């Protein structure tokens, strides 16, 4: 087994390389915090899509599910069943959290593939808004 000795100078060089940033990003200063604005904007857009679609789908609930209500019922039951098989009998408390994370990540990933984010120009930064899952 060969172990190559590593000097402090080599480690310093690696540390300097780790600070290299490809492209510029759009940041906001809010209070004492630096916030990545591109991720924040796309995250709120995804939340708006999810809430809007749920409100439209279940605004007039029917005893016999139709259209969007039926689709959301299927998705929520799928996630519940998946949680039950992975976690076991004590899955009940975890289902709301798992549903939220699953739907947010799923819609974020698909928004990166389906929505033309690159057409929205941003001041200072990469120049265009990109999907949150791609940052």
Write out pLDDT tens, residues 60-95: 877 877 777 888 889 989 999 999 999 988 888 999
* pLDDT confidence band for 109 (50 / 70 / 90): confident
Tokens of 29: 């200063």
Task: Round to whole Å and give the CA distance between 54 and 97.
Answer: 17
Least confident of 15-29, 32-46, 68-82, 118-132: 118-132
- Tens of pLDDT, residues 38-51: 788 888 989 999 99
φ, ψ of residue 33 to 5 degrees: the values are -110, 145
- Domain residue ranges of the chain, discontinuous segments joined by +: 34-117
Task: Round to whole Å and give the CA distance between 42 and 108.
Answer: 8
pLDDT reported for residue 54: 86
């Amino acid at each position: 087994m060969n172990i190559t000795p590593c000097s402090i100078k080599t480690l310093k060089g690696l540390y300097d390389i780790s600070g290299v940033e490809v492209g510029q990003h759009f940041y906001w200063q809010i209070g004492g915090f630096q916030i990545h604005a591109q991720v924040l904007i796309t995250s709120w857009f995804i939340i708006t899509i999810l809430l809007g679609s749920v409100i439209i789908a279940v605004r007039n609930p029917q005893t016999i599910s139709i259209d969007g209500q039926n689709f959301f019922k299927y998705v929520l039951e799928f996630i519940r069943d998946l949680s039950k098989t992975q976690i076991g009998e004590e899955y009940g408390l975890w289902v709301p959290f798992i549903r939220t994370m699953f739907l947010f990540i799923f819609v974020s990933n698909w928004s990166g593939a389906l929505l033309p984010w690159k057409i929205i120009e941003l001041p200072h930064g990469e120049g265009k808004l990109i999907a949150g899952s791609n940052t």
